[in-house]
Amino acid sequence: MNEANVIRRVMTSIRNSVGFKMILIGILTLILLIPAEMVSSLIRERQQRRNSVIAEITEKWGRAQVIAGPILSIPYLHSTSKDRDGNVRKTIKHIHLLPESLNIVGEIVPSIRYRSIYEAVLYNSDLRAEGHFSFDVLSELDIPDTDIHWESAFVSIGVSDMIGIKDEIVASLNGETRSMNPGLLSNEVLESGVSGRIKLSPSVRQLDFSFRLKLNGSEEISFVPIGMNTKVNLKSEWESPSFSGTFLPESRTIGSEGFKAEWRVLHLNRNYPQVWADQQHNIYDSAFGVRLFLAVDIYQQSMRTAKYAFLFLLLTFTTFFFMEVLNRNRVHPIQYLLIGLALLIFYTLLLSISEHLSFGWAYLISSVATIAAITFYSVNILGNKKVIATLTGILTILYSYLYLLLQVEDYALLLGSVGLFLVLMAVMFLTRRIDWYSLKFENDS
């Protein structure tokens, strides 16, 4: 009997211990990180679903386009080795010549297509290119004119997704029109595109060209600066462009009516020459262009929000714990668990509502619903109206502060650090007079 009383006293002492309660809250917080990770996995799954739906749309319309060209390729005889009779073996290789000047002017007409709850940014582009090739640089290769097959030359234009071509491509070459054919006569430089043959002669020292390219694409359009001087002018009614690639525009204007951008790139800015033979160069690494950026990616925003789940659990549990300490109101571990689950359901509410409404409205609805649920649940736990009003105010500040962090991504670390510092100072101030050694919860029995 005495042993039973001792055990009962020990268990009561442990249950009323503030230190034990803090350890228990810490364990609950760590346990709740498991469903928090499940929420993050759900966000990633929905994002992958969105990406697969967009891929299905763009596969039939046209993917992100990369334009490279024109490139002039001329076959020549390349000496390799001698046979047993002393005769030199020769194989056919290609000289690849890039334009001395390349000017591209184009307009992008965007549109948004919907499938179910998802949307994809598509566009029609109308591009006009002109410039000229100079054959003077061929002297750098030291290849005899007699070995060059001028009559078998061909011009290639790189188009990354052929499905997007919406009209016949007719090139003007020194005043003569040539209809370009699908496919490449050589894949040494370009990955996919169109090409057309042209007969040249050693007496020709320059080749002027021009062509028009009408393309469908999605999200992004890029250009490879193959000219010794490359100039690209683009305009569109899209209000939120994101300039991407190796080079930024030299000048740009962005407003409610759309954007205009101009790039100027020299051959000195890239890592491949104007003319080469019997070599491989990756010209696509120098591509630049514009992405039709959707201003708010709800999945990216939701994922950023979910990264603060641990902090929210910790701060909310800390708030309840100090309300226990300061007001002698006991909160059972099961009640902590239910409050933690309510905090996590906020993220699923945010994700599901933002797929149908704007992210701002989804955040407002989800946060108000979560704060209301925790407040009403705490009425019977805490009892005191002032304490409940304080709790509601703290939760409102936390959710408002999180939304502010999401809006100022560049200053999120600074604001987060300052916020945590202020929270710590507030806790230190409120608990400065507490004697933690003598503090115990009141016995429930």
The model's pTM is 0.74
CA distance 314 to 318: 6
Report how far residue 122's alpha carbon sits from residue 99's, in angstroms, rounded to the nearest whole number.
Answer: 30
Maximum distance among all Cα pairs of the chain, rounded to whole angstroms: 117
The H helix count followed by the E strand count for the chain is: 8, 17
Return the closest-CA partner of residue 388 out of 314, 429, 331, 309: 331
Q: Given this model, what pLDDT does residue 369 score?
A: 93
User: Residue 423's beta-bridge partner residues?
Assistant: none
Contact predicate 218/61, CB 8 Å:
yes
Closest Cα to residue 68, out of 235, 208, 221? 221
The answer to whether the beta carbons of residues 160 and 125 sit under 8 Å apart is: no
Q: How far apart are the first and last CA of the chain?
A: 19
**Is residue 34 a contact partner of residue 309, using CB atoms and an 8 Å limit?**
no
Residues carrying CATH 2.60.40, the chain: 62-295
For 371-407, the DSSP string reads: HHHHHHHHHHHH--HHHHHHHHHHHHHHHHHHHHHHH
**Please, is 342 exposed, middle or buried when counting C-beta atoms within 10 Å of its C-beta (0-12, 13-18, 19+)?**
middle
Q: Six-digit token pair at 285?
A: 């690494």
218/194 Cα distance (integer angstroms): 20
Could you tell me if 124 and 166 are in contact, meaning their C-beta atoms sit under 8 angstroms apart?
yes
Distance CA 430, CA 423 (A): 11
pLDDT at site 444: 47
Give yes or no for a contact between 289 and 245, defined as CB atoms under 8 angstroms apart.
Answer: yes
Task: Please report the pLDDT score of residue 175 as a whole number.
Answer: 84
- Residues whose CB is less than 8 angstroms from the CB of residue 245 and which lie 6 or more positions away in sequence, other chains included: 222, 287, 288, 289
Length of the chain: 445
> Which residues, in sequence order, are bridge partners of residue 215?
125, 165
Which amino acid, residue 433?
R
Task: Give CA–CA dist 439/433, Å, rounded.
Answer: 11
Tens digit of pLDDT at every position of the chain (445 positions): 465 555 555 555 555 566 677 788 888 888 888 888 898 888 888 888 888 888 888 888 888 899 998 999 988 887 666 556 656 667 788 889 999 999 999 999 998 887 777 778 889 999 999 999 988 888 778 777 778 888 888 999 999 989 988 889 998 888 888 889 998 888 888 989 999 998 888 877 888 999 999 999 988 899 999 999 999 999 999 888 888 888 999 999 998 888 999 999 998 999 999 988 877 888 999 999 999 877 667 888 888 888 888 888 888 888 887 777 766 667 778 888 888 898 899 999 998 898 888 888 999 999 999 999 988 888 777 777 787 888 888 888 888 888 887 777 667 677 777 777 777 777 777 666 666 666 555 554 4
Tokens 């209000």 belong to residue = 239
Burial of 27 (0-12, 13-18, 19+ CB in 10 A): exposed
pLDDT for 125 equals 92
Give the closest residue to 191 by CA, choosing from 216, 215, 224: 224
- Domain 62-295 carries which CATH code? 2.60.40
Rg over alpha carbons for the chain, rounded to the nearest Å, is 34
Buried b (16+ CB within 10 A) or exposed e, 399-436: bebbeebbeeeeeeeeeeeebeeebeeeeeeeeeeeee
